[in-house]
Amino acid sequence: MKGKNLLKKNEFYIVIIIAVLACIIQAISGQFFTSNNLVDLLRSMIVPGMMAAGLFMVIVSGNIDVSFPYTAMLCMFAVTKWFSVINYQGPVFLAFLIAGLIGLVLGLLNGVLAAWLKLPTLIITLGTCTIFLGITQGVLQSSVISVLPAPMAKMAATNLFSVVNGETGLGSSMPVSILFLIAIYLIVGFIMKYTMLGRGIYAVGGDPVAAERAGFNVNFIRIFVFTFMGVVGGITGITQVTVSGMCQINFFDGYEMTIIAAVVLGGANIAGGSGTVIGTFLGVLLMKMISNNLILLGIPTNWSKFMTGILIIAGVSMSAYKSVLAKRRVASNILEDGHKEEA
């Protein structure tokens, strides 16, 4: 029974794909299971991973958000620029707090519009993301900030640990913000599994009318998931700065699509109602493995997008094809049932 359940779980298959892929890369290049490669991989997962955790909630609730990269961008520039101008010297914590608060306001805007207008949230967030981009470009006049305020620069220079690959001499360091990634997955995991709010998110994603009749506050849940996404977006913006040591307007280009893809690849139903936070983590891991390690396979990095696209289509179509087949077949055996009854 236990084994059967495992086979039913989507995560099981992603783990297998990840394992197979890791072995292939290792076999061809001999460079996958090296300390610096693994640290690099985890490091590259921090920002997309955090965003995916927030988006996972939005998707389970049956909504979609494409504005979060722009939330992150706006918060990143707003806080970095402001701190530069006032020559801020206090604790770096405040940068995350303020970015989180700005993100909260932007997310709240998405959530309230979604709850109030009852429009498809793709349309709403397409609108707001353009506004966020407009603010970043117009009001903040931002494209690049190469000198960070002191506290942020200090965090960017601090690492948990560093590793050096003995063979190649290549080194890699683990930023402190990996702890944020871990914290966010724990928080989202806890909310989704052990709080009524989390179960409400699943319920709304499954059937919003039924959720309302059961007594869930559907509008609150909708507002919550977008606000949470906003906060995560804001914090992620500053995290990105401290990982890369600078601000650039194109940091998050195309993130809305790749992160949606990672969440869906991780087994969440794009129509809402199902998925797990572990699956989401694995989805991001798989995505990053492809885009980081293609070079090890001898595939030029220019082709990484192409390969990622192929992976998404392949991953998603497997489950879709299963349900198409199921529709063309009679599921339960009417004929055999008959024999049983006659017997």
Partner 1 sequence: MSEILLQAKQISKHFGGVTALDRVDLTIKKGEIHCLMGENGCGKSTLIKIISGFYRPDGGSITFEGKEYDRLSIAESIGLGIQVIYQDMSIFPNLTVAENIAINNELYNRRKLVNWKAVKSIAKEALDHIGIELPLEAVVGELSVADKQLIAIARAILNNSKLIIMDEPTSALTRKEVDKLFKVIRQLQQEGISTLFVSHKLDEVFEIADQFTVFRNGKLVVADSAKNINDEQFVYYMTGRKLEEVAFTPKKIDHDRAILKVENLGLTNGFANISFEIHPGEILGITGLLGSGRTELAKTLFGLYSATEGHIYIDGREVQIRTPMDAIRHKIAYVPEDRLTEGLFLTQSIENNMIVSNIDRLKTGKKTVDYEKGHEDSLAWVKNLGIKLNELKDGIQTLSGGNQQKVVLGKWLETEPRVLILNGPTVGVDIAAKFDIHAYLRTLAEKMNLAILLISDDISEVLNNCNRILIIKNGRIVSEHVNTELDQHRLQELVTGSKEETA
Binding site for partner 1 (CB under 8 A): 193-199, 202-203, 205-207, 209-211, 213-216, 269, 273-274, 328-339, 341-342
- Return the number of the residue (56 or 252) whose C-beta is nearest partner 1: 56
How far apart are CB 259 and partner 1 at their closest, in Å?
22
Is residue 77 helix, strand or coil? helix
CA dihedral 162, 164, 170, 173 (to 10 degrees): -10
How far apart are CB 188 and partner 1 at their closest, in Å?
15
How far apart are CB 10 and partner 1 at their closest, in Å?
13
CB 216, CB 205: distance < 8 Å: no
- Return the number of the residue (20 or 119) whose C-beta is nearest partner 1: 119
CB 239, CB 50: distance < 8 Å: yes
Q: How far apart are CA 232 and CA 254, in angstroms?
A: 18
Burial class from Cβ neighbours inside 10 Å (0-12, 13-18, 19+) for residue 180 reads: buried
- Tell me the residue length of the chain: 343
How far apart are CB 63 and partner 1 at their closest, in Å?
15
User: How far is it between the farthest Cα atoms of the chain?
Assistant: 86
Q: What are phi and psi of 177, to 5 degrees?
A: -65, -5
| C-beta neighbour count of 193 within 10 angstroms | 12
How far apart are CB 51 and partner 1 at their closest, in Å?
24
Q: What would the DSSP string read from start to end of 243-257?
A: HHSSEETTTTTTHHH
- Return the number of the residue (109 or 192) whose C-beta is nearest partner 1: 192
- Return the number of the residue (196 or 318) whose C-beta is nearest partner 1: 196
- Dihedral sign (CA 242, 134, 57, 218): positive
Residue type, 114: A
Name the DSSP class of 139: I
How far apart are CB 4 and partner 1 at their closest, in Å?
11
- Return the number of the residue (214 or 270) whose C-beta is nearest partner 1: 214
- Return the number of the residue (170 or 197) whose C-beta is nearest partner 1: 197
- Return the number of the residue (21 or 123) whose C-beta is nearest partner 1: 123
- Return the number of the residue (222 or 288) whose C-beta is nearest partner 1: 222
Q: How far apart are CA 42 and CA 34, in angstroms?
A: 13
How far apart are CB 186 and partner 1 at their closest, in Å?
15
Sequence-separated (6 or more) residues with CB below 8 Å from residue 153: 147, 245
How far apart are CB 220 and partner 1 at their closest, in Å?
13
